[in-house]
């Protein structure tokens, strides 16, 4: 099996002195799976302060007028919340059973022989893509400016729109009404749903790693051949294909550095559009954090881990990220529903028709005499 060393000297074959030397700083490759993850933060909702109490009347009030049966409302809301969580639990249990079945099938297909074959092809393509990049940067010396001027602004534009939608995802710490609190829970559940969806996409990418990596290698080989054919006629167009899709896809499926298989593609061919930032979370190996816009173009990909590490990746993603994210989203969804139900109940309680009933309710509660009247203080005349 061919193995390219991390550092090489001299120039590429068939190159000239104006072309770049081989890399001293290879591009990043996927992380090794470790199974050690920090717990994701879970913000506490702010406390809604109780309404300011009125001063006690200067009366010996026996019982206040009857109010709405809030205890029953609260019990109904509690039962509704528990039923809702139980229904979601059934759905997620089915998801886990389906995931287990897919993992067993994928593990049976992802053998050591298959792994060795895929790695061999990846190493061959690494050399082919390195040579393509060498020729491309000679044919289009303005390659970086093409990306910075015509690609990066498009990424920044979508990123700014997303920023306008979600801000920095920070939740405020004070509320003064149930509507404020409901909005807090709405933002919280939406943020947790996006996190859960990201993790599900990554898990989905690992359902059939051997098939997906084989397909990606085939697509990359075709794209490499097509780029080589177009170098002489439209090199500036090839820049976009190579640096926005071919190189990222090739590195996305790369074996981790611990495999001893290191790319010969220089890091400088991967570092541009610096304002396109993400928030990586790759404690399990695969990144389930907030991706950059460039990462979203190709989507999450399985990469060339050893077959013996497959269940380590799947179990870590499931136990350390998927289940906590599922529980957090379920709790956030239920908390939102509870506040929403309270808003609906209190909205009905302050309905104008309820206000009109105050006179009737008060008359029904007023006693026939004033025996409940608070006795006068010493030296004060009795109330008439």
167-177 pLDDT per residue, tens: 888 888 898 99
Whether 277 contacts 292, CB under 8 Å: yes
Rounded Cα distance, 168 and 180, in Å: 18
Q: Is the pLDDT of residue 158 over 70?
A: yes
Rounded Cα distance, 42 and 332, in Å: 10
Rounded Cα distance, 150 and 273, in Å: 11
DSSP assignment string, 289-330: SBPPHHHHHH--------GGGHHHHHHHIIIIIIHHHHHHHH
Whether 211 contacts 109, CB under 8 Å: yes
Residue 95 vs residues 90, 203, 322: alpha-carbon distances, Å: 9, 11, 11
Rounded Cα distance, 330 and 74, in Å: 20
Instruction: Report the pLDDT value the prediction gives residue 361, as an integer from 0 to 100.
Output: 81
Q: Is the pLDDT of residue 384 over 80?
A: no
* Side-chain half-sphere CA neighbours of 326 within 13 A: 19
Among candidates 152, 179, 130, which has minimal Cα distance to 15? 130
Rounded Cα distance, 67 and 345, in Å: 13
Q: What is the mean pLDDT of residues 235-243?
A: 96
19 φ/ψ angles, rounded to the nearest 5 degrees: -90, 155
Q: How many CB atoms lie within 10 A of CB 154?
A: 11
Q: Is the pLDDT of residue 12 over 50?
A: no
Please state the pTM of the whole predicted model.
0.76
Which residues in 261-275 are b (16+ Cβ under 10 Å) and which e?
bbbbbbeebbebbee
Q: Is the pLDDT of residue 374 over 90?
A: no
Instruction: Report the pLDDT value the prediction gives residue 127, as an integer from 0 to 100.
Output: 97
The two structure tokens encoding residue 217:
């290698």
Q: Is the pLDDT of residue 148 over 50?
A: yes
Share of the chain above pLDDT 90, in %: 52
pLDDT in tens, 335-358: 999 899 889 988 888 888 878 888
Q: Is the pLDDT of residue 157 over 60?
A: yes
Rounded Cα distance, 369 and 384, in Å: 12
Whether 23 contacts 262, CB under 8 Å: no
Lowest mean pLDDT among 29-33, 154-158, 250-254: 29-33
* Side-chain half-sphere CA neighbours of 317 within 13 A: 31
pLDDT in tens, 48-94: 777 777 676 666 666 655 555 555 556 656 666 666 666 767 777 77
Residue 263 vs residues 228, 301, 310, 384: alpha-carbon distances, Å: 20, 17, 22, 98
Instruction: Report the pLDDT value the prediction gives residue 4, as an integer from 0 to 100.
Output: 43
Whether 152 contacts 239, CB under 8 Å: no
Residue 36 vs residues 147, 158, 287, 315, 320: alpha-carbon distances, Å: 37, 33, 13, 11, 8
Instruction: Report the pLDDT value the prediction gives residue 64, as an integer from 0 to 100.
Output: 58
Query: If you search the block for the tokens 């390659």, which residue do you land on?
Result: 143
Q: What is the mean pLDDT of residues 34-43?
A: 75
Rounded Cα distance, 282 and 31, in Å: 7
The two structure tokens encoding residue 53:
């109490």
Q: What is the mean pLDDT of residues 132-156?
A: 95
Element (H, E) at 186: helix 178-205
Going by pLDDT thresholds of 50, 70 and 90, the confidence category of residue 24 is confident
Going by pLDDT thresholds of 50, 70 and 90, the confidence category of residue 293 is very high
Q: Is the pLDDT of residue 267 over 90?
A: yes
Q: How many CB atoms lie within 10 A of CB 67?
A: 8
Q: Is the pLDDT of residue 13 over 50?
A: no
Instruction: Report the pLDDT value the prediction gives residue 58, as an integer from 0 to 100.
Output: 65
Q: What is the mean pLDDT of residues 141-157?
A: 95
Instruction: Report the pLDDT value the prediction gives residue 76, as an integer from 0 to 100.
Output: 57
Write down the number of H helices and E strands in the chain.
13, 0
Q: In whole angstroms, what separates CA 296 from the centre of its chain?
A: 12
Whether 269 contacts 243, CB under 8 Å: yes
Mean pLDDT score of the chain, rounded to an integer? 84
């Amino acid at each position: 099996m061919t193995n390219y060393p991390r550092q090489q000297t001299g120039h590429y074959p068939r190159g000239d002195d104006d072309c770049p030397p081989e890399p001293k700083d290879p591009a990043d490759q996927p992380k090794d799976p470790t199974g050690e993850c920090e717990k994701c933060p879970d913000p506490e909702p702010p406390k809604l302060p109780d309404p300011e109490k009125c001063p006690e009347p200067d009366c010996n009030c026996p019982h206040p007028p009857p109010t709405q049966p809030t205890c029953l409302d609260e019990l109904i809301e509690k039962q509704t919340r528990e039923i809702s969580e139980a229904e979601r639990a059934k759905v997620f249990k089915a998801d886990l059973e389906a995931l287990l079945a897919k993992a067993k099938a994928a593990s049976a297909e992802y053998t050591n022989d298959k792994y060795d074959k895929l790695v061999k092809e990846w190493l061959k393509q690494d050399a082919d893509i390195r040579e393509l990049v060498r020729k491309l940067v000679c044919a289009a010396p303005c390659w970086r400016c093409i990306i910075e001027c015509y690609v990066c602004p498009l990424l920044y534009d979508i990123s700014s729109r997303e920023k306008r939608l979600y801000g920095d995802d920070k939740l405020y710490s004070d509320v003064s009404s149930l509507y404020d609190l409901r909005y807090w829970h709405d933002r919280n559940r939406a943020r947790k749903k996006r996190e859960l969806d990201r993790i599900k996409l990554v898990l989905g990418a690992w359902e059939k790693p051997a098939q997906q990596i084989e397909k990606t290698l085939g697509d990359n080989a075709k794209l490499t051949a097509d780029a080589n054919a177009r170098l002489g006629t439209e090199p500036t167009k090839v820049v976009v294909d190579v640096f926005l899709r071919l190189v990222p896809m090739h590195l996305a499926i790369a074996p981790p550095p611990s495999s001893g298989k290191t790319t010969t593609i220089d890091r400088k061919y991967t570092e541009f559009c610096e304002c396109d930032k993400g928030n990586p979370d790759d404690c399990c190996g695969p990144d389930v954090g907030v991706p950059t816009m460039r990462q979203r173009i190709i989507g999450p990909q399985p990469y060339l881990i050893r077959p013996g590490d497959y269940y380590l990746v799947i179990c870590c993603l499931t136990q350390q990220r998927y289940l906590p994210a599922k529980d957090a989203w379920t709790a956030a969804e239920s908390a939102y529903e509870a506040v929403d139900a309270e808003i609906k109940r209190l909205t009905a309680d302050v309905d104008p028709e309820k206000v009109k009933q105050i006179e009737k309710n008060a008359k029904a509660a007023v006693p026939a005499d004033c025996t409940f009247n608070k006795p006068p203080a010493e030296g004060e005349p009795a109330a008439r």
